[in-house]
Structure 1
Amino acid sequence: MSLSLCVIVKNEEKSLPKCLSSVKNIVNEIVVVDTGSTDKTREIARQFGGKVYDFQWCDDFSIARNEALKYVTGKWVLVLDADETLKPEIVPQLKAAIATDKYILINLIRQELGSVQSPYSLVSRLFRNHANIKFSRPYHALVDDSITEIIKKESYWKIGYLSNVAIIHSGYQKAVIDHQNKHGKAITAMRKFYQDHPDDIYVCSKLGALYVEMGEISQGLMLLAKGLNLILESGDQGENINYDILYELHYHLGIAYGRLGNSIQAIHHYDAAVNLPVYGFLKLGSYNNLGNLLKVQGDLLGAKMAYELAIGIDANFITGYYNLGMVCKAMGLWVEAINAYDQAISLNPDYAQAYQNLGVVLLKIGDVQNSLIAFENAIALHEQYNPQEAERLKQGLKEMGFCY
């Protein structure tokens, strides 16, 4: 089954090689639409066999993505951004899925590196080369609207999902966001769209979440609450509700109320989010944030359960293990705390705080030798990244009678 890659780019000479390397032996065609690069982006794309087309940027990602679709010749289309890579482990699943006759769209799980609040998202980036499939929305462009219309007329099509993480996205790391002015581009594109479509639930969700992320809580809260009301009003019968967007609205309302210090409302929205019938990976952030709030409120058992549910969704969720260790430590569950910290460290050997808290728990149970080893690891790591904390820890150990 022939597969085409579509990428839109501008000045991506640093990230594009990694992106294209991840798919060069999988796709049959690489289509690159360049929106005004002044570096070596075009040359790099051609080195990978890419067909490069120029396009004048117009503050609308959907128009640029649709331009790329014009040049596709494969039977299936995979869409990536330059700061994304395809995980090699997903390739057998991907090939098996596109070899079937029933799917028109296959949703992919994307891991958001550097995103503290939303470690995973679901993206509609793998679909058939169908004449009526097109992207809509100027930012966070997606094909879902056109897919819905196609299925109304061609009801034999199904939407599928790959069960494991397919895409790694590095674009949420702060340095990347600041360098590429991603927030500024997003605000510009979505504000224009919102002015013309004030009752669009999707843009209320995305723009509201972006305002919250940027610290403009009141504006974000207003848009998110509006989106929630709109989606509930439009889906009174249940069957018309888009649960993925409903989840996002509750989730980001939880974040907004949490930042305002309104724990009751935040917990309410996180509870609503985790009880929706959406893909499990999407719930990870809600469970983790819910656990944090419950821990602060003193509901340690509830927090412990939330962290355990998060780890149950993603066995590699480092923050979840660390948070579980912290709440178990607070509950006096020493063995469980040690196991949680050990797991966090095995996944991230440079986790200074995990070593430090492991040292505390080991000291509490009288395992002085291993406690000091954990503290020494914590100090060595802190000296690299946080020298003040390293000195504070050394001083604390000296005060307890240990030589440093």
Structure 2
Amino acid sequence: MVKISACVIVKNEAENIPKWLQCMRKIADEIIVVDTGSDDITRQLAVAAGAAVYDFTWCDDFAMAKNYAIAKAVGDWIMFLDADEYFIDDMPEKIIKQLNEIDSNKMVDALICRMINIDKDNNDKFINSFYQLRIFRNKPELRYEGKVHEMLKCDGKTPSLLVLPRDIYIYHTGYSAKINMEKLKRNLKLLQREIAEHGEDILYYKPLADCYYGMKEYERVIYYDKKLIESGVTLIGMDTGVYLQYINTLCILDKPKADIKAIVDAGLKKYPASSDLNYQKGFLLYEDGDFIASEKYLNKALKLYDTKEQIASSDIDRSFFLIYGLLGDISSLKNKKEQAIKWYLKSLQENPHVRQFFDNFYKIIGKRTDKVKITFLNKIYREKDKDFLLRALKDIGADKLYLYYKNIYQSEKFSSTDMALEVFSRGNYNLAAKKIAVILDMTYKNIIMDTLDKKEEMSSLSRCILPKGYQAAFYQVKNKLE
């Protein structure tokens, strides 16, 4: 069995370090925490958890701090996750199994693992994913280089890498909303200092673009993404990321569609197996009305995502609802109703609150029995979605279903209007008319009392609404009060 050393450098990570320590205890034989100057309880938490804690005087050099931690490790393999990164479920067991199988292959220096950025301030919402080096052999020639956005090198060169299966991944919360700006400003400051001392290296283009993207300085993002693409340099684990960021930035700035198409096509020429770029192409074709070609690229994007192990940046996970919905629209246009229903179900299960796809879905299932429609809707909607579902059903005139779900979801009794609507939907028109008359009588009286309370004249709108008998009653009461 291989021995694993878990290392981390920290400063004021009291919020994140408990989860990191809990995660590492499941996989590591030793835990090394290098503190760079915390003034919270980070250090105490690490000591209490049984970690070996060392102090390092911060010198604006991430590589030096990480290499100090590595020098303390004695395991066969080193796992160097940041304090805001962690595994879930059975990931530790899977990684241990992989390392035991790989250990005898001395041609492999390090492992690349899928990283998933989530926003913990927004219900752990998916941001994007990419591949990053986080596990490597404990060898003296493997050390980090670079004061900021440090990279692991083997005697100054790229180490021999192996990609872990896609079902092994790490969650990263460092770009959550409330802390992202602070990190971006820190990183930009360090990058600018490096550039002032040594000049603007090609390897700075991506981190600079990332900083400016997070800070919403989009013209600078375009400048550095363009420079990186023109340089021809590819970044392991983030090779398509520059194109995706460039495309998103052009969309944010509402640049001409021709510019966006040019970048998508350039990206596809270089990375034809990118699921994200194939999706982007399919979306643009859909907008142009070329539905046949759009369907081809959207299906290709899904196939590539399912079957190809891509060592690339990706944000397609947050776009599945759109891909499925567009394929539903295309299937509907082709009069393939059953296929359209399947796509719409998948889309709304990913994102239940997209009105376009809900309306299109309901048009197809609208003529089916209420029981069938309820069966479909129950596959998508839960109580947390009740506001959207009730509003959508009411807007499209699905009165029976509206009343059915309101009865299920709302604990309070029906309003008088709902009761009248229920009676009307059952075909009892005489009783419905009586209930509506009661509702109108109360409404008219409320208008009259409100106007009298404010001591105002009757407005032109009220005169349009109130029947003559109620207008006469208003003036009778008004004259008595005067």
User: TM-score with structure 2 length normalisation?
Assistant: 0.67
How much has 1:205 moved relative to structure 2?
Answer: 1.5
Q: 1 CA distance for matches of 2:306 and 2:347?
A: 10
Q: Which residue of 2 aligns with 1:170?
A: 173
Q: Which residue of 2 aligns with 1:97?
A: 102
State which of 287, 300, 308 in structure 2 corresponds to 1:296: 287
How much has 1:391 moved relative to structure 2?
Answer: 6.4
Once the two structures are overlaid, the 10-residue window that deviates more, 75-84 or 370-379, is: 370-379
CA contact (8 A) 2:348 2:357 kept: no
- Aligned pairs (5 A) from 1:338-377: 338-343=341-346, 351-353=351-353, 357-358=357-358, 360-365=360-365, 366-367=367-368, 369=370, 370-372=372-374
Query: What secondary structure sits across from 2:131 in the alignment?
Result: strand
State which of 324, 338, 360 in structure 2 corresponds to 1:335: 338
- Aligned pairs (5 A) from 1:75-114: 75-87=76-88, 88-89=90-91, 90-91=94-95, 92-114=97-119
CA contact (8 A) 1:380 1:390 kept: no
Q: 2 CA distance for matches of 1:300 and 1:392?
A: 30
Q: Kindly provide the amino acid, as one letter, of the partner of residue 148 in structure 2.
A: Y
Q: 1 CA distance for matches of 2:184 and 2:266?
A: 28
Q: Which residue of 1 aligns with 2:422?
A: none
Query: What secondary structure sits across from 1:352 in the alignment?
Result: coil
Q: CA 1:66–1:335 in 2, change beyond 3 Å: closer, same or farther? A: farther
Q: 1 CA distance for matches of 2:21 and 2:34?
A: 14
Q: Which residue of 2 aligns with 1:258?
A: 251
Q: 2 CA distance for matches of 1:288 and 1:176?
A: 31
Cα deviations across residues 276-302 of structure 1 (Å, max 9, x unaligned)? 469x7xx45444444443433334344
Q: CA 1:345–1:169 in 2, change beyond 3 Å: closer, same or farther? A: farther
CA contact (8 A) 2:109 2:136 kept: yes
How much has 1:375 moved relative to structure 2?
Answer: 5.7
How much has 1:368 moved relative to structure 2?
Answer: 5.1
Task: Point out where structure 1 has 5 or more consecutive residues left out of the alignment.
Answer: 152-156, 233-240
CA contact (8 A) 2:33 2:51 kept: yes
Q: CA 1:354–1:249 in 2, change beyond 3 Å: closer, same or farther? A: closer
- Aligned pairs (5 A) from 1:38-187: 38-87=39-88, 88-89=90-91, 90-91=94-95, 92-114=97-119, 119-143=128-152, 146-147=153-154, 149-150=156-157, 158-164=160-166, 165-177=168-180, 181-187=182-188
Q: CA 1:340–1:391 in 2, change beyond 3 Å: closer, same or farther? A: closer
Q: 1 CA distance for matches of 2:264 and 2:376?
A: 35
Q: Which residue of 1 aligns with 2:25?
A: 24
How much has 1:85 moved relative to structure 2?
Answer: 1.3
Q: CA 1:208–1:148 in 2, change beyond 3 Å: closer, same or farther? A: farther
Of all paired residues, the percent bearing the same amino acid is 21
Cα deviations across residues 294-325 of structure 1 (Å, max 9, x unaligned)? 43333434443444344334459754431123
Q: 1 CA distance for matches of 2:69 and 2:29?
A: 15
Q: Kindly provide the amino acid, as one letter, of the partner of residue 172 in structure 1.
A: Y
- Taking only aligned residues, the RMSD between alpha carbons, in angstroms, comes to 3.4
How much has 1:80 moved relative to structure 2?
Answer: 0.3
Cα deviations across residues 15-63 of structure 1 (Å, max 9, x unaligned)? 2222222231321211111223233322222233211112233444323
CA contact (8 A) 1:209 1:224 kept: no
State which of 261, 275, 288 in structure 2 corresponds to 1:267: 261
Q: 2 CA distance for matches of 1:302 and 1:147?
A: 45
Q: Which residue of 1 aligns with 2:201?
A: 200
Q: Kindly provide the amino acid, as one letter, of the partner of residue 253 in structure 1.
A: Y
How much has 1:162 moved relative to structure 2?
Answer: 0.9
Q: Kindly provide the amino acid, as one letter, of the partner of residue 122 in structure 1.
A: Y
Query: What secondary structure sits across from 2:110 in the alignment?
Result: strand
Q: Kindly provide the amino acid, as one letter, of the partner of residue 299 in structure 2.
A: E
How much has 1:207 moved relative to structure 2?
Answer: 1.0
CA contact (8 A) 2:328 2:342 kept: no
CA contact (8 A) 1:110 1:120 kept: yes
Q: 1 CA distance for matches of 2:395 and 2:205?
A: 49
Query: What secondary structure sits across from 1:26 in the alignment?
Result: coil
How much has 1:244 moved relative to structure 2?
Answer: 5.3
CA contact (8 A) 1:273 1:286 kept: yes
Q: 1 CA distance for matches of 2:303 and 2:149?
A: 29
Structure 1 position 322 matched with structure 2 position 321: yes
Query: What secondary structure sits across from 1:100 in the alignment?
Result: coil
How much has 1:327 moved relative to structure 2?
Answer: 0.7
